[in-house]
Structures are given as C-alpha cells and as structure tokens.
Amino acid sequence: MLETQRQPAETGHSARSARERILDASYELFSQRGIRAVGVNEVMERAGVATATLYRHFPSKDSLVLAFLEMREQRWTHGLVEAEAQRRGSDPEERLLAIFDIFDEWFHRDDFEACSFINVLLEMGAQHPAGDASVEYLDHIRSIVRGFADEAGLRDTESFARSWHILMKGSIVSAAEGDVEAARRGKAMARLLIGQHR
C-alpha cells in the first residue's frame, strides 16, 4: 500500500513532490495538535495540494496517520534520539544517559510537542489501528534502550528497558505539563536504575 518514493515522472517538477508536501504538512500538524483536531482540509491547505491528489496518495485519513507515525519513527526515534545518543555517548552507559540530555534540550524548545506515540495511543485507544501502531513504535524505542543496556553489560535488560522507558515517558508527560526540569529529574533516577542493574 505504501507506494514509496515515486521519484520519476514528477509532473510539476515542483521542488518537492506533492507526496512529500503532504507528508511534511501531516507531520507538523499531527505532531503538534493531534489527530482528531486536524482535518484533511488543513493538511491539504498547508501542503498546497488538491483533494484528489491527497486521496490518490493515501486512500483515507487513517492511512495518512499511519504514514505520519512511520515518519515520526524515522525522524524522532531514529533521527533524534537514537542517532544523537550514539553521537554523544562515548560508552554504552553514557549513551543511555545521553537520552535525557537530548530530552532536556527537546523539552526547552518552544514547539515541544511531547511524544506522538503516547499522544496518539491515548487519543485513539489501543484498538484503533493508529493506537496499535503507536504501541509497536514504543516497543521499538524500548528495543533501542535494551540494545544499549546489553552493550553496557547490565543485568536483566528487558526489565531494565521497561523501567527506563517509564522514566522517559514520565518525564515527557511532566514536560508537557510544564516542568522544564523533568529531564534532569529523569536522569537522576536513571542513574539509580543503572546502579541496580550493574
């Protein structure tokens, strides 16, 4: 169903293809305001795209939402969290702790939007396809944490990753509430948790 990157035959040879513009607009709107609060009209407007064009690329709003979540994993999970943690930490334990340094900068951004996977899961429910996909993407985040923990030689890394993830999600929600120090608090508890699994 994905009809992935259709580079050739670009028609308008516009700087960015219609599909790309739709995805970018979806990303900005859905990540900032949620799913139900954003209509497809608004997406089309911001993308500068006609109705038929959006529905040629995505058969329904739901499928557009799924594409948004996939993009969120690329940009946020992999592009921001995983890659930056790798870059900042010189050893596995430092890579783990770097997650909260990344969070700290992220929490201080004016356009801080919280975690789209949590947002969508809670907004749509676990039964909805988008909520279900969100649970899966949250699993992936935990897998990354577990990978770092394995490299660090910690004990019981599955349980460790689940506890670590509690700290990540809790500090994100606290930041959404307005506590800009949430990452610092999370990091302090994270250190204690590492101590328990060493």
Identity of the residue, 33 or 155, whose beta carbon is nearer to DNA in the bound complex: 33
Does 180 contact its own copies by CB under 8 A? Answer: no
CB of 18 to its own copies, least distance (A): 29
Does 197 contact its own copies by CB under 8 A? Answer: no
C-alpha to C-alpha distances, 6 to 19, 20, 50, 132, nearest whole angstrom: 9, 10, 18, 28
Near DNA in 27-66, by CB under 7 A: 38-42, 48-53, 55-57, 59-62
Identity of the residue, 16 or 191, whose beta carbon is nearer to DNA in the bound complex: 16
34 binds, among DNA, its own copies, none (CB under 5 to 8 A by kind): its own copies
Instruction: Give the residue, chosen from 16, 33, 155, 198, that forms a contact with its own copies under the rule CB under 8 A.
Output: 33
Identity of the residue, 50 or 135, whose beta carbon is nearer to DNA in the bound complex: 50
Does 144 contact its own copies by CB under 8 A? Answer: no
Q: In the numeric block, which tokens belong to residue 182? A: 């949430």
Q: Which residues bind its own copies (CB under 8 A)?
A: 33-34, 36-37, 114, 118-119, 121-123, 125-126, 135, 138, 159, 162-163, 165-171, 173-174, 176-179, 181-182, 185-186, 188-189, 192-193, 196
